[in-house]
A and B are shown apart, each in its own frame.
Chain A
């Protein structure tokens, strides 16, 4: 009885070793960089983490194919290194000693990549499935590009400034025109009061430039009195 048990166990072990080895068919290499992702909060990679990994892969397979046949024991890990990298393969429990096709595993992992990453507090870059490319999330595009809003603000400020300067310039010019017309009117009024005599202003004549004609300056005795 014990011998039979040992025999089956060794057969299973050998079968597993056959199924899970580097570059085996339908096997995937995983590379984990815990220290890069978490720094001081890094946890150590031990058997418990491996158990969680197997559970997550089984969960992914179940969710993808929505039949609850995949067990944790179906996920085989091998060649774990200090880097933390290892190979894994998913066996089919219904058929003996075969692995689930790589494309199915890939699709299942892709679908649940986010959940798997979060379980380990890692990201696409620090938990790498080497043959599975990740779909990159599109950048968040707001409906109006941000630069257009800033540009609108800047342009409004400039237009307000220009309008203000132009209007103040026009107002200043109007005031200057009004002032100059007022001062012109004042000059005209001053001119009107100047009296003219034969084209010469009288004030000038009062100055010394005029001469008194001695002949007509009255020597009154020459004329006979009436």
Chain B
């Protein structure tokens, strides 16, 4: 026997270096590409400033409560999503598994979007920018036909970047340039997440703060551009009539929900590395408000630039008409300017109506150009790149813009990867003695190989499918079960005690009401509305088909049955984990019939820290 004194076991769980790192990581996870290319679009189509009303209501009753719930859960139980839900109740373990599956699916396609950003970034170092000019055709008599009929920007995106096939069933070949960029992106993700939060905590200082700098620069530049004020007025002019449309409320609720990156398990993972006595209530409110403010702040430069682009397009339209008139009537140059265009047109219409009609002049309307609203990849890679060509010093603006998009996406990727990494680390898939670097390396390598299928010709169609089906409905289901699980199975009284121990304050009425009734109800309503809207028409997509007669308009096509089956599978797979795991545990309990197996241990935060 030895009388060695007992050495107390050190808490081996990694920790954040400081509170700021943790807050920044949560903000970085929440603030992503959607804040730049989805929120301004929603503002625009849903009546400008009026959209802020449903947005802030959704933030208050859905966003902040759910965020607080997740952060408190992770901090209390100090485990990743799978471990945390297993601890609350083995029957609820499926919730953790479901959010883990969603994180995996989203990580796969999200990094491919970053691949596209990186491809544009490395192409921004040329003069002239490759998306500003059309290439020549074979015998050099004119421009490439596909490019000429659409625009140079469209051509660069659909042909030179994606090399898109006209149909989702035609897979095309692997695009080697995208494979290179994909490898680089996964290497960057590996570099930053190699040791979990030790390394992401350092990287987040850059990736979370840099986008704000660039947004400010774009804000200053954007406001000096001609036509910026038109764009901003168009964006923010409230049209309160749109509030009568339930679609607006649904979009606000879904935007808040997806924008805060809830139900991925990443937030639970982040807060699990916190010290137990940390004010998670204040953190939740801070992160949610910063996320919404960022969306608003980002929409200002976006709309200044869009207003500038609309104005330039309007001026181009006018100039083309003026040139036709001058050439037809042999008038001296600069006799018709943009301001006296309308008076000249009316004059010429009276004197020579047949000639004017023969010219087939396009009607130029600024409103029409402003109305062309785009969101998502179209906004970044087509509309914004076109606007950048028109700015002086386009290379610098392009480089800044794409670095900003890359940082925004990368900080969200950290959260996704953490949501995958932390539960795997706790499940001890790889033996404990093996280094963390190995596990993160394996995750990144496997993800790279699976994501190669997004570099096919039809890759972007598949990414749309993943985005629409894997990254939407399952999250609503998981979040609903999260709230129900904590409030009704773990019991909110116990949870309030835990939160009081962590924050030092009792849960006030706002949290009680939202957690118990409002948030689950809202989630249910949003889920039903979402499903109903999806069911209303057969799922379709728009394809880029140069042989289509309406080219350059995109061709509307319906998904073939096998693709529809995959869509359903993607949406159902994470959701089905919840009942499956519960069923599995039920069967295990019934089969064993061993009275010594106690019912699931009643766990509480006090127990975790004793």
Contacts and interface: CB of A to CB of B under 8 A. Distances in A.
* Bound together: yes
Interface in A3-62: 31, 33-36
Contact of B331 (A34, A82, A136, A138): A82
Contact of B125 (A146, A155, A169): A146
A85 interface: yes
Interface string B1-16: 1111000000000000
Contacts of A82: 330-332
Nearest to A158: B187
Given A82-B332, A136-B140, A155-B187, 15 more contacts: A81-B330, A84-B332, A85-B327, A85-B330, A146-B123, A147-B122, A154-B184, A158-B184, A162-B191, A162-B194, A165-B199, A165-B437, A169-B195, A173-B435, A191-B4
Contacts of A146: 123, 125-126
A161 interface: yes
Closest 6 CB pairs of A and B: A81-B330, A82-B332, A83-B330, A150-B122, A35-B333, A147-B122
Interface residues of B, number: 37
Given A31-B327, A83-B332, A166-B194, A194 B435 contact: no
Contacts, number: 85
A179 B181 CA distance: 42
Given A136-B142, A165-B194, A154 B333 contact: no
A139 B123 CA distance: 16
A170 B142 CA distance: 59
Nearest to B118: A154
A139 B187 contact: no
22 contacts: A34-B333, A35-B333, A36-B333, A82-B331, A82-B332, A83-B332, A83-B333, A85-B330, A133-B141, A136-B143, A139-B135, A146-B126, A147-B119, A147-B122, A150-B125, A151-B184, A162-B190, A165-B194, A166-B437, A191-B2, A191-B4, A194-B2
A135 B180 contact: no
Contacts of B194: 162, 165-166, 169
Given A83-B326, A136-B142, A158 B435 contact: no
A147 B123 contact: yes
Interface in B175-211: 177, 180-181, 184, 187-188, 190-191, 194-195, 199
Nearest to A36: B333
A226 interface: no
A186 B115 CA distance: 53
Contacts of B450: none
B6 to A, nearest CB: 13
B180 A165 contact: no
Contact of B191 (A31, A84, A165, A187): A165
Interface of B: 1-4, 118-119, 122-123, 125-126, 133, 135-136, 140-143, 177, 180-181, 184, 187-188, 190-191, 194-195, 199, 326-327, 330-334, 435, 437
Contacts of B190: 162
Interface residues of A, number: 36
Contact of B195 (A35, A136, A165): A165
B407 to A, nearest CB: 14
B219 to A, nearest CB: 27
A101 interface: no
B136 A154 contact: no
Contacts of B125: 146-147, 150
A139 B133 contact: yes
Contacts of B199: 165
A2 interface: no
Interface in A133-158: 133, 135-136, 138-139, 146-147, 150-151, 154-155, 158
Contacts of B136: 136, 138-139
A139 B127 CA distance: 11
